[in-house]
Amino acid sequence: MISKNTLKYIRSLGEKKNRNEHGTFVAEGNKLVSDMLSAFTGEVIIAKTSWMATQGNIPTKELLEADEEDIRRAGFLKNPQDVIAVFRQPLWRLEDASPSEELVLALDGIQDPGNLGTIIRLADWFGIRHIVCSNDTADVFNPKTVQATMGSLVRVQVHYTDLAAYLLAQKEAAVPIYGTFPDGNNIYAATATLSPEGIIVMGNEGNGIRPSVEALIGERLSIPACPAGRETAESLNVAVAAGIVCAEFRRPSRL
């Protein structure tokens, strides 16, 4: 039986203010927690004995045996698995992102935690190691975001900053900056100049890229509907759009 205080503490990490206060975050699920054990410092892990038996040495400050009811009460999933972990938040440094030497994603006001988590997973798939977010983008350590990354936080670092100021500095350093717009240049066109280095900006789900950020973008891109002129959906989900754009930048002929 897990103590009420421990359960209360884990549940409290569903709120950003508490995650920031403690400097921790929650991950749950057998594979997700197993993947993260090697990358993040474990504070508390509650788990069924069956999960513990598959892990060998489990690096954490506190390891507690839990039953199904404990995990259900502590967790955030509709269908709980066998383990919940509390990890220390990593100290990622924005200075480690080098858009003059590698491709970096920038997110301007992404609000949905699931979208953010999916974009992190896409970045991992396409070998993008850093994502730079505006300060009003969803929290990377929201339990829904962490779950949606499917473990990609082990390899992708997420940074928060004044995005317009960051992009201005990169523009002054002659770093290519791309953004997606309905009236942009067709990303599939042979004339599109897509660099293996630089910054790709993706905008808010409803409002797109805000004007202060738009003014700093050097090349406007669009994902055309097919075939042209056909009545179709009004727009793409931002995570879907990010996947299409990243795939085009990573096309083998461009590398």
Structure confidence by residue, pLDDT tens digits, 118-168: 999 999 999 999 999 999 999 999 999 999 999 999 999 999 999 999 999
Domains of the chain: 4-88 (3.30.1330.30), 94-254 (3.40.1280.10)
pLDDT score recorded for residue 39: 95
Q: How many helices (H) and strands (E) does the chain have?
A: 10, 10
Q: How many residues does the chain have?
A: 255
DSSP helix/strand/coil, 200? strand
Q: In angstroms, rounded to a whole number, what is the distance separating the alpha carbons of residues 178 and 196?
A: 12
26 CB contacts (<8 Å, ≥6 apart)? 10, 13, 14, 75, 76, 84, 85, 86, 87, 143, 146
pLDDT score recorded for residue 234: 73
* Peptide bond between residue 227 and the one before it cis (omega within 30 degrees of 0): yes
pLDDT score recorded for residue 253: 57
Q: In angstroms, rounded to a whole number, what is the distance separating the alpha carbons of residues 71 and 81?
A: 8
pLDDT score recorded for residue 252: 67
Instruction: Give the tens place of pLDDT for each residue, 48-100.
Output: 999 999 998 999 999 999 999 999 999 999 898 999 999 999 999 999 999 99
pLDDT score recorded for residue 231: 74
User: Which amino acid is present at 174?
Assistant: A
Indicate the average pLDDT of the chain: 94
